[in-house]
Amino acid sequence: MNHICSNLSIIIACGLLCMAACQRSRQESQPAETSTKPVERPAFDADSAYAYVAAQCAFGPRVPNTEAHRRCSRYIIETLRSFCDTVYVQEFTVRAYDGTMLKAKNIIGSFNPQSDRRVFAAAHWDSRPYADHDPNPANHRTPIDGANDGASGIGVLLESARQLSLNRPQNGIDLICFDVEDYGAPQDEESGIQDDWCLGSQYWSQHPHIPGYRARFGVLLDMVGGENAVFCKEGTSDYYARDIMERVWNAAAQLGYAPVFSRKVTAPIIDDHLYINKMTRIPVIDIIEYHDGSGTGFNPKWHTLEDNLQNIDRNTLQKVGEVLLHTLRNE
């Protein structure tokens, strides 16, 4: 997960921030009306999702060009193949901020691949090579487990794949596992290179797994396993895909999760969804934890050695999973 308004896309981010601020003002003066009509609660097993998160963490930090990364890729591919109709594996090589050539894989599991009526959900499966926000500076070049920042979103996707295999959708659904999201330059090092984060989603946006791929919308998951997490209406999502965000947040309210899916509009961030929105014009929102008072806006464990399995909460996985499955099934 990248930064709020980093210098990589400062002009875009500033513009989005202004838009988000205007929307925040409008929203606070005119609260959105939410239907109280109950919706069907999708089947989702938080224990199963947690087990998928744990399995990823058991490999160790999933940093590109490492054995843990290679082994985890095989695990995700095999798991998706056991549930999905078709699995696509994009193998590619990209240059990191420091010139390192990284061997990467985007992994896509598809249901009803023949359908033209498609939606997708996505998350990143690699983990940060640097604990550059750890309170101990000695840890700033140590890889992190990335239980929340990466593995939690993939855990929800894998459990969603299992549920979709048991109760098949009518529409086409793609579950996209992006690689090389978190290999940007450390906080104390200026790379001088723009767009050095989110390399897997940038690659996919330019080289989709199906030529000419189109979807009605997408939902990105990032840091969706923290205890007592709150998900706000993030500014980049609000700018590019406000109607999709309203649909998802309304569904969350109808499922009883209004306190978790806050209608507060927060600052825009640079994440995988920014590049997909810009490059493909497919509207994509980011369900990402917002933590007021952390100093970064993210979970306090973000990019620290404490982003481990002990800080993953099944209740949060459950809520996000139900909201996601309801959204994918009712496009």
Q: What is the pLDDT of residue 39?
A: 76
Q: Rounded distance, CA 320 to CA 153, Å?
A: 9
Mean pLDDT of the chain, nearest integer: 91
CA distance 124 to 268: 19
Distances (CA, A) of 95 to 46, 128, 185, 197: 37, 16, 12, 11
The first and second tokens of residue 314, run together, are: 């099944």
Q: How far apart are CA 300 and CA 54, in angstroms?
A: 20
Q: Residue 138: helix, strand or coil by DSSP?
A: helix
Q: Which residues of the chain have pLDDT under 70?
A: 1-38
What pLDDT is attached to residue 8?
39
Tell me the C-alpha to C-alpha distance, in Å, between residue 298 and each of 162, 189, 291, 294: 29, 21, 5, 7
For residue 307, what pLDDT is reported? 98
pLDDT value, residue 159: 99
Q: How many CB atoms lie within 10 A of CB 11?
A: 7
Give bridge partners of residue 101 from the DSSP assignment: 95
pTM over the 0.85 mark: yes
The reported pLDDT for the residue numbered 43 is 98
In Å, how far from its chain's centre is CA 163?
A: 19
Q: Is 56 exposed, middle or buried (CB count within 10 Å of its CB: 0-12, 13-18, 19+)?
A: buried
